[in-house]
Amino acid sequence: MSAPRYSSAGRQVGSPKPKTRGESSSSRRTQPRAELLTVPVNAESKDTLCRNVLIYGHCRYENSGCAFNHDQNRTTNQNGQSPQGLQSEVSTKRFNVDSPSFTPTTLQAAPGSATTTPVKKSTFSSQAASAASFVPRGTSTTPSAAKDTESSASLFNPAKFQEFTPQNFELSPNVSTNGAASDAGLTFDAFSMANLNQGLPQTPFNPYAEDPTALASTGAFFQQQNPFAAHTQPLLYHLYAPLGQHREGLLPYQRQTNDFFLPEKIREDAQRKLEAAHQVMNNTALPNIDHYSSLVPLDTSNRESSTIFGYTSWVYKATSQENGKTYFLRRIKDFRLSNEQAIRLVKEWKKVHNGSVVSVHSAFTTRKFQDSSIIFVYDYHPLSKTLAQHHFPQQQTNRYNTRPTVTEDVMWSYITQLANALQAIHKLNLAARCIDASKIILTEKNRIRLSACSILDVLHYEARRPLGELQQEDLTQVGRLMLSLASSTPANSITANNINIIMQQMGNMFSEPLVSSLMWLVYPSQNGETKTIETFLSKISSQIMANMDMMLHQNDALTSNLYSEIENGRLFRLLCRLGTINERQEFDGDRQWSENGERYMLKLFRDYVFHQVDANGQPVVDLGHIVRSLNKLDAGSDEKICLTSRDEQSVFVVSYKELKKQIGSAFGDLLKGRPSAGRGF
């Protein structure tokens, strides 16, 4: 008989009938049953749970003398507690993570066994009793901590633990570095200004960049947002949001092509002015004056006139060689400057910055015209004409030879603009002295400016008059000019004899406030008081506000047209890229530029936008489709389109975003001077 495998029958603690391996079946059958239950019953065997209960859920020998414990809810009293204290403890359920792990103990050796295994104790070591208590990181302990505070300290407090904080993120000043804060600081007040004080990145956010977060400094990925604010997103160029004045609701077929662009009248007017500003004359005998070249005469008549200044004057357009800008030159012929202090008065006029006065830049003398002349330099307003040319044309084109009538609204517009100019001039202790229809230019519709200021101050420097007298004369000249325009009578024809008759005629055509205002300007004051421009402005304050409202509406209309034109430059750049990429014959041998490569889709997109045909093969010209497709391409929309070749053998389904990347890649290859090698989307 071989040696037994186990040294003791107590190894098989789960069996109620311990036996040795060497015993035969015949000997087991012949032994009395009472001798099989010879395992001594002690405290450990009574407290050890039977393995049959753990494995099978029950023990068939429970009532037949099994010495182990069969009650799973029974707890051991190892610490010497009373039975009453044991009843108060919570029973441990099966498969509970809080239950202690099972540690088998060793039974006493059965009779006849050679050795015994020592019993394993489940007590803590002596070093564990003196170990320091566990303290979580971030909390502090005091030596005098009482035992009653241990229970409260064991409660879970989320503020004591560190939270995850991304690196390089701009934190608010009232938040600590590790993200921990007291419970009192977790409250949020939506109406507190302190919560709105969030720092922005050092570099401004650029929504037009491919990766706008890469342009900012540290923490750019976490963009700062105000409370309840919408996320910042790039503009969607294919969605128009026109501002300003809107037209009536029109159906698509009722809209015109120019609705997408600047109004035709404004465009033509701007083009004519640009053409006039760049106009030059070849084979001209006009010399270059100082640093002004390319002189172009602006006088419409060769007849010399010296009515206003007492000297013959000519006007020119010239280009400055210093800054390349265009200026308006007024030449006073045959004038000899006797005092240098006279020309220095121009510096005082350079301080006048008013929308109703043409700005003065400089004045100098010259002998380039083979005589002694003085030149005054002003801002140039192309295609401007004087009030005399507009309201008193020399050649009548009307079959009845009637001059254009002036309405009351136009009269009030002229009066308010001239009053605005006089207020700015008189405020600087100056006088206009040149309020005449031939020296007031009309730059826009009903937009007038004084264009000959400072000339009489220089020419009549030796015969200076009192400033108050000159300012009174300015008001009288404004009244006489308005009477001339209202009655279609030249200003030099209005005398003291016929002025009363003209006033009576105006009373039949215009309102009483306009007539009374002109009478206040023309006639001297009855009580001998000095008339001032401030007094006149107070009399016409209601009309000033009405004209200001009209100008604001005009500004809104121009701003709305500007918003509609802001897209043209962007679409033009996109068309330039498409035009330079398509039909590149020098890259026919390159795989990427062939009809099987990536650049072929750009050619099909060109046909999709510009070369559409209907079911009968007739060309379809849809400007709305062209603008809409280009806007979506420039915005990089995720919308997919179907591109078909002309022979209908190749079909591509691609998004605008992919096409935009292809355009950028292909255009970058052209800038490098060579096609790409295997570059994809």
3-state secondary structure of 589: coil
Residue ranges of the alpha helices (H) in 125-175?
126-129, 148-153
Residue found under tokens 């007024």: 330
How large is the angle between the packed helices 467-487 and 512-522, nearest 10 degrees? 140
- The annotation status of 379 as a binding-site residue, yes or no, is yes
- The annotation status of 438 as a binding-site residue, yes or no, is yes
CA 226, CA 196: separation in Å to the nearest integer? Answer: 6
DSSP E strands: which ranges in 20-149? none
CB–CB of 339/461 below 8 Å? yes
- The annotation status of 590 as a binding-site residue, yes or no, is no
Residue found under tokens 């302190």: 194
- What are 367's two structure tokens? 């002998």
CA 426, CA 543: separation in Å to the nearest integer? Answer: 21
Burial class of residue 262 (count of CB atoms within 10 Å of its CB; 0-12, 13-18, 19+): middle
Q: How distant is the alpha carbon of residue 431 from its chain centre?
A: 47
Comparing C-alpha atoms, which of 386, 420, 405 is closest to residue 548? 420
CA 634, CA 239: separation in Å to the nearest integer? Answer: 12
CA 82, CA 63: separation in Å to the nearest integer? Answer: 28
3-state secondary structure of 154: coil
Q: Are strands 326-332 and 313-320 parallel, antiparallel or unpaired?
A: antiparallel
Written as one string, the DSSP assignment of 204-266 is PP-TTSSSGGGGSSTT-SS----TTPPPP----TTS----S-------GGG--GGGGS--HHH
- The annotation status of 409 as a binding-site residue, yes or no, is no
Instruction: Please give the radius of gyration of the chain, using alpha carbons only, rounded to the nearest integer.
Output: 51
Written as one string, the DSSP assignment of 524-572 is PPTT-PPP-HHHHHHHTHHHHHHHHHHHHHHHHHHHHHHHHHTTHHHHH
Residues 6+ apart with CB under 8 A from 291: 320, 321, 322
- The annotation status of 382 as a binding-site residue, yes or no, is yes
Q: How distant is the alpha carbon of residue 545 from its chain centre?
A: 34
Residue found under tokens 């936008």: 609
Residue 123 gets which letter from DSSP? P
3-state secondary structure of 387: helix
CA 581, CA 593: separation in Å to the nearest integer? Answer: 9
Comparing C-alpha atoms, which of 248, 13, 227, 47 is closest to residue 117? 13
- The annotation status of 669 as a binding-site residue, yes or no, is no
CA 381, CA 664: separation in Å to the nearest integer? Answer: 42
Q: Which residue type, as a one-letter code, is found at position 586? A: E
- The annotation status of 217 as a binding-site residue, yes or no, is no
Residue found under tokens 């809080």: 98
| Residue 525 CB-half CA count within 13 A | 10
- What are 585's two structure tokens? 């014959």
Burial class of residue 674 (count of CB atoms within 10 Å of its CB; 0-12, 13-18, 19+): exposed
* Phi, psi of 135, rounded to the nearest 5 degrees: -125, 120
Comparing C-alpha atoms, which of 374, 486, 388, 392 is closest to residue 435? 388
- The annotation status of 384 as a binding-site residue, yes or no, is yes
- The annotation status of 632 as a binding-site residue, yes or no, is no
- The annotation status of 427 as a binding-site residue, yes or no, is no
Sign of dihedral through CA atoms 437, 518, 490, 508? positive
- What are 45's two structure tokens? 């065997």
- The annotation status of 252 as a binding-site residue, yes or no, is no
- Known binding-site positions for ATP: 330, 379-386, 438-439
- Known binding-site positions: 330, 379-386, 438-439
